[in-house]
Amino acid sequence: MTVQTKVILAVCYIILAPVVIGLLDGFDRKISARMQGRKGPSVLQPFYDLKKLFEKEALCANRAQLFLIRSYLMFIMLSGVLFFAGYDLLLVVFALSTSAVFLILAATSTHSPFSSQGTHRELAQIMACEPMELLVAVGFYLATVPRTFNVEFISKSFSPNIIYLPGFFIGFVFILTIKFRKSPFDISTSHHAHQEVVKGVTAEMVGREYALVTLAEWYESAVLYGIVGLFFMSRNPFSIVYAIIAILVVWFLEIVIDNTSARVKWQLMLKLAWGVTIIAAGMNLFLLEIIRSNIR
Amino acid sequence: MEALVTALICLPFLWAIFPAVIHNSKCRAFFVYLGCGIIMVLSVYTAVQWYLSGGQPLNFSLPYQETFDHVYLAGDIFLMCLIIYLSFKYKKYIISVLAVVGTLVPAFLEVWGPEIKEVPTMRFDWLTFVMVIIIGVVGTLIGIYAVGYMHGYHIHHHKELKDRRSFFLAMVFVFYGAMFGLVSSASLTSMYFFWEITSVTSFLLIGYTRTQEAIDNSFRALWMNLLGGCGIATAITVGYLWFDTVNLFEFLRLVKISPDSVKCLLPIIVLAFAALTKSAQFPFSGWLLGAMVAPTPSSALLHSATMVKAGVYLLIRLSPAMADNYVGNMVALIGGFTFLVSSCLAISASDGKKVLAYSTISNLGLIVACTGCGYEETLWAALFLVIFHAVSKSMLFQCVGAIENTTGSRDIEDMQGLMTIFPKLAFILLVGIAGMFLAPFGMLISKWAALKAFIDTHSAYVSTLMIVFICFGSATTMFYWTKWMSKIIGVSPREQSRDLTKKNEYISMFFHAIMMVALILGFPWLSKTILKPLSKEMFGAVEQVISYENIIIMIVLLVGVFVVPIVNFIGTKNKKARTVLTYMGGANAGDNMSFISATGEPKEMHIANFYMQDVMGEKSLFKPAIVVSSFIIIVYLIIVIGGAF
Amino acid sequence: MSTIHKSPWLLHYDGSSCNGCDIEVLACTTPVYDVERFGVINTGNPMHADIFLVTGGVNSQNASVVKQIYEQMPEPKVVIAVGTCACTGGIFKECYNIKGGADTVIPVDIYVPGCAARPESIIDGVVKGVALFKEKAAKLAASEKAN
């Protein structure tokens, strides 16, 4: 890829990611409503919400919050740019986890009971998800020939990597439910309105601040869906169609999970997430290693 | 050059006499500052001198090598007698056996054993260069910090304890000397001597307060380190009997010549074993945790620049001989296991120093794992970790010590809103913590390289396990650091009070912070000018460990971590916003600190972090971890020792 | 074009009511009435809310709470008193601890009568509230421009 293409891809990401993910979110709410026998809001609802939040009065519980949230957003955008411009996948994962630290600091800076409670659960969530995210990067590295963390080369591998990485895929889709803050794991904060710790990490974020966090989450979702797509990408130009189909299937699966499952506690979340990571991704990893050493 | 190194080793030992005999506090402080200054300048000068003279490995013998040999022998015997005396005094008889065996066998062989061929006993190369600078700069800064800290320690907080500062400061100097000796020794006899000195001085430093807990912990440290010392003693013995050499580099060469010979691996595995005890890996982590009872400067000294780095140093030396063999697998597994388990244990700790102790063990675990892997990338990562860890850990220990002296507590729960009451201390703490885990600071770069290298390790079992260890270990590491960080920021329930931190403590801490930032900014340069020649020297070939493209990305991230918050801070500073109370169900009692309880009275609100005692607690994890790690070590020792005979 | 009225988020506060109105408020979110089709979200957080829905009267213990929650809501905001108790104090009005309707502590914009208020009338009130919300937002924007 030339530098120009990279820049174009990065700009596309910055412009299109909120549009696409916002629309997916709108359809998510529509489909959820239909599943529950309701009419549901307009598909543009997420954009109306975002716009409104920007127009609300600025309140602050702690002055430090806004700048930390902005840093959070910028770091997520940076990791997204790194991902879509085809740079190192492991660095993308590291940048994502660094950005999460900003969110956590923003939430605890207020010393509010609900957002602090949410923060600790958020930390538990990060701890539950991070091994799997790192393992996905490792999986791609092992599966691609020649081995690389480079997203560009991974997306141009000889055959779709899902063939070698089914366990990784299962594990990754599992933690996506946590990452997207869907029902079974709506622990630190939920994408639904109501939950036990008020709104968790975002409890003290008002108007613009909350809008920025929402936007950051959209950008993050774009990267995560991108990784889902990466499992299906190959040298074949049609593979992008498979990738999009896969993303839509995963997206629909998450809606179904969201609408059919009750919530779980964070203790169970940690056990489940780590268990699935170890069993699905760990076994897959071990098999890959064995195959590889036999080839040599 | 020879003279410089000799001076570097001897000067601290001799200088230790000054603080030992001067009891006037001001006068002693002056001599400690002077001594630290001289040692720092001398070490940097030596290193620079060597660098300017071409940076070629330098093998040499000390002037009057004969005399030094006698001193080593006499010193060994003296240390043995001291240990026997103390262990009898405190009724820990069994420890004296370790000392006797570990000292007399090599001593006997040295005097009456077979003649061995003469080779230079010292060596100054790239690794020594790095270590000398770390010890000389970070170590002496701790010495400067110690003067102020120990003053506060005795005058403000521990009036009940006997003031033995003279002894303490003297021991600190002995430590420097021993470390300089250790990192420039090529002969195992001299290395063993310095090794034993660090064991004994750390034992004396840990037992400084002479409380029952301190005595128990110091003896624990002693027996574990002596056990490790026995490893070196075994290597010396084997060297005399089988290989006709006691030179470390000869051992390494032998492994290189015949990589399949288990016999040649024997000295390597016992040396690695010794290094594992010294660097406090599981199952020998207990001593480093116990070392926290000592005053903070000694913890800082043991944890960051010296002591534990001695073990790691030896492992890095052995690293080329550990690629894809039993020893390497053992070391890598123990390191990875320690990395994961101690980062889990750190989650359950709320005592600031204990968290630091566990994180030290955990980071050392990562370094050890890297060395065990034995590839160029991992060595590169290990060295980076060593450098970053020395600086940031020393800074963190000093900072927690200063916080304890000022606020009277080192518990993380009591650090709520430190940013608002002691911004300077909080800032240092934040920089230190950020350096420990945030992208793109040092740790992360190393973790990245380590992960990559482990995937490429030959053994599928080791590779899989190591990847799992690192992935899970990073997650748990992130957890305990972030929750500490989140405590510091925000509002504090306490009133602002006087900062009792002494000026010299601040000088040391800010110097560390500056070094930290300089290291981060200068890392591509560091990689190119120091680590590249180092790995070239150890492995012969140089390969670009991190691609140019990724270095650029890291610099972008780096700038991001600094610039993004600053820009946003300035950008949002003048944003108008109405201040509101935080949401407590509408029951705030006028502020964010208390709420109206059911009785109608205001009640203070407490927010505590997650500690996950039942899952991650010491009770449930420590013992099993020791069993598992002992099992790994014993199995590999049996394989290698059995295979050698 | 302002679309602010398309995203009115509710905060529901239960004063000292008999819970009748609360059940009716929740009924509005069920599939039968589906208030979400107007973009309404029943949030639990004053910081995120646009419309403050009060049911039940205000007593001496919760007066400060109602006031504080109202203050924690960012402008523009609308207050709707749902049910007779929230409007006037209702049948509890003469009780020793009752201060009266919600308007005794905070400015109420829209009153929805009924004991209990029926979901249809609540939705009607909310829709009126949304119109007012748009109006207030426009006013706020104009005054900000003037500054």
* Binding partners of B (≥3 Cβ pairs within 8 A): A, C
d(CA C140, nearest CA chain B) in Å? 15
pLDDT for position A295: 64
pLDDT for position C80: 94
pLDDT > 90 fraction of chain B, expressed in percent and rounded: 14
Q: Which residues touch B151 (CB under 8 Å, ≥6 apart)?
A: B25, B502
> How far apart (Å, rounded) are the C-alpha atoms in residues A92 and A81?
9
ipTM given for this complex? 0.93
Cα end-to-end span (Å), chain C: 21
pLDDT for position B157: 73
CB-based contact A121:A188 (threshold 8 Å) = yes
CB-based contact B216:B210 (threshold 8 Å) = no
Helix B65-89 vs helix B188-206: angle between axes, to the nearest 10 degrees?
30
Tokens for A142, please give them. Answer: 């092992």
CB-based contact B449:B381 (threshold 8 Å) = yes
Q: Which of B573, B583, B593 comes nearest A114 by C-beta?
A: B583
Amino acid type, B363: N
Mean pLDDT in chain C? 89
Chain A positions contacting chain C at CB under 8 Å are 29, 33, 36-42, 45, 48-49, 51-52, 55-59, 61, 193-195, 198-199, 202-207, 210
> How far apart (Å, rounded) are the C-alpha atoms in residues B1 and C30?
85
Q: What is the pLDDT of residues C34-83, one digit of tens each?
A: 888 888 888 888 888 999 999 989 998 889 899 999 988 998 899 999 99
pLDDT > 90 fraction of chain A, expressed in percent and rounded: 44
pLDDT (mean) for B130-150:
88
Closest by CA position to B174, among listed B201, B134, B149, B199: B201
Q: Is B590 on the interface with C (CB under 8 A)?
A: no
How many whole angstroms from its chain centre is CA A7?
22
Give chain B positions within 8 Å (CB) of A66: 568, 572, 575, 577
Do the Cβ atoms of B468 and A88 come within 8 Å?
Answer: no
One-character DSSP codes across A176-216? HHHHTT-GGG--S--SSS--TTTTGGGTT--THHHHHHHHH
Mutate one of C1, C5, C6, C140 to test the A interface: name it (highest A CB count within 10 A).
Answer: C6
pLDDT > 70 fraction of chain C, expressed in percent and rounded: 99
Residue B494 has pLDDT above 80, yes or no: no
pLDDT for position A87: 86
CB-based contact A192:C29 (threshold 8 Å) = no
Helix (H, G, I), strand (E, B) or coil at B590: coil
Q: Which of C47, C62, C66 comes nearest B583 by C-beta?
A: C47
Q: Which of B452, B560, B578 comes nearest A59 by C-beta?
A: B578
> How far apart (Å, rounded) are the C-alpha atoms in residues B27 and B29?
5
pLDDT for position A296: 53
Please name every residue paired with C52 in a beta bridge, in sequence order, or none if there are none.
C11, C79
Do the Cβ atoms of C37 and A193 come within 8 Å?
Answer: no
Element (H, E) at C54: strand C51-55
Q: Is C50 on the interface with A (CB under 8 A)?
A: yes
> How far apart (Å, rounded) are the C-alpha atoms in residues B11 and A117?
55
Give chain A positions within 8 Å (CB) of C34: 33, 38-40
**Dihedral sign (CA B59, B65, B69, B74):** negative
d(CA A51, nearest CA chain C) in Å? 7
* Binding partners of C (≥3 Cβ pairs within 8 A): A, B
CB-based contact B134:B199 (threshold 8 Å) = no
Structure-token match 């950020």, residue found: B434
Helix (H, G, I), strand (E, B) or coil at B185: strand
Give chain C positions within 8 Å (CB) of B600: 61
User: Would you kindly state where each structural domain of chain B is located, as residue ranges?
Assistant: 2-568+617-644
Q: What is the pLDDT of residues B500-549, one digit of tens each?
A: 777 778 888 888 888 888 887 787 788 788 878 887 888 776 666 666 77
Q: Is B583 on the interface with C (CB under 8 A)?
A: yes
Do the Cβ atoms of C75 and A49 come within 8 Å?
Answer: no
**Dihedral sign (CA A156, A158, A159, A164):** negative
Which of the 8 DSSP states describes residue B411?
Answer: B
Q: Which residue of A has its CA nearest to C38?
A: A41
> How far apart (Å, rounded) are the C-alpha atoms in residues B290 and B94?
19
pTM for the predicted model, two decimal places: 0.91
Q: What is the pLDDT of residues B77-114, one digit of tens each?
A: 899 999 999 888 888 888 888 888 888 888 888 888 78
Do the Cβ atoms of C69 and B586 come within 8 Å?
Answer: yes
Do the Cβ atoms of C65 and B586 come within 8 Å?
Answer: yes
Could you tell me how many helices (H) and strands (E) chain A has, helices first?
11, 1
Closest by CA position to A263, among listed A162, A200, A174, A190: A190
pLDDT for position A25: 92
Q: Which of B583, B596, B600 comes nearest C72 by C-beta?
A: B583
Q: Which residues touch B251 (CB under 8 Å, ≥6 apart)?
A: B235, B239, B243, B245, B264, B267, B268, B271, B321
> How far apart (Å, rounded) are the C-alpha atoms in residues C127 and C120?
10
Helix (H, G, I), strand (E, B) or coil at B543: coil
Q: Which of C2, C44, C141 comes nearest A193 by C-beta?
A: C44
Tokens for B14, please give them. Answer: 């001799």
Do the Cβ atoms of B580 and C45 come within 8 Å?
Answer: no
Q: How confident is the model at residue B566 (pLDDT cuts 50, 70, 90)?
A: confident
Q: Which of A66, A123, A285 comes nearest B483 by C-beta?
A: A123
CB-based contact B442:B527 (threshold 8 Å) = no
Q: What is the pLDDT of residues A4-53, one digit of tens each?
A: 888 999 999 999 999 999 999 999 999 999 998 888 899 999 999 999 99
- Three-state SS string over C63-132 comes to HHHHHHHHHHCCCCCEEEEECHHHHHCHHHCCCCCEEECHHHCCCCCEEECCCCCCHHHHHHHHHHHHHH
Tokens for A86, please give them. Answer: 């085809």
Which of the 8 DSSP states describes residue A58?
Answer: P
pLDDT (mean) for A62-80:
88
> How far apart (Å, rounded) are the C-alpha atoms in residues B69 and B193?
10
Q: What is the pLDDT of residues B582-597, one digit of tens each?
A: 888 888 887 888 888 8
d(CA C115, nearest CA chain A) in Å? 26
pLDDT for position B440: 58
Give chain C positions within 8 Å (CB) of B586: 46, 62, 64-66, 68-69, 72
Do the Cβ atoms of A66 and B479 come within 8 Å?
Answer: no
Give chain C positions within 8 Å (CB) of B596: 64
CB-based contact B519:B385 (threshold 8 Å) = no
Phi-psi category of B583—alpha, beta or left, where left has phi over 0 and alpha has psi -120 to 50? beta
Amino acid type, B183: V
Q: Which of A60, A71, A95 comes nearest B557 by C-beta?
A: A95
Q: Is C138 on the interface with A (CB under 8 A)?
A: no
pLDDT for position A194: 67
> How far apart (Å, rounded) are the C-alpha atoms in residues A197 and A118?
7
How many interface pairs between A and B have CB atoms less than 8 angstroms apart?
Answer: 195
d(CA B580, nearest CA chain C) in Å? 6
Q: Residue A7 CB: number of other CB atoms within 10 A?
A: 12
Domains located in chain C, CATH noted: 4-136 (3.40.50.12280)
CB-based contact A234:A94 (threshold 8 Å) = no
> How far apart (Å, rounded) are the C-alpha atoms in residues B253 and A245?
57
B578-579/B58-60 β-pairing: unpaired
Do the Cβ atoms of B581 and C72 come within 8 Å?
Answer: yes
C98-100/C58-59 β-pairing: antiparallel
Helix (H, G, I), strand (E, B) or coil at C55: strand
> How far apart (Å, rounded) are the C-alpha atoms in residues C19 and C2?
36
d(CA B314, nearest CA chain A) in Å? 30
How many interface pairs between A and C have CB atoms less than 8 angstroms apart?
Answer: 84
Mean pLDDT in chain B? 85
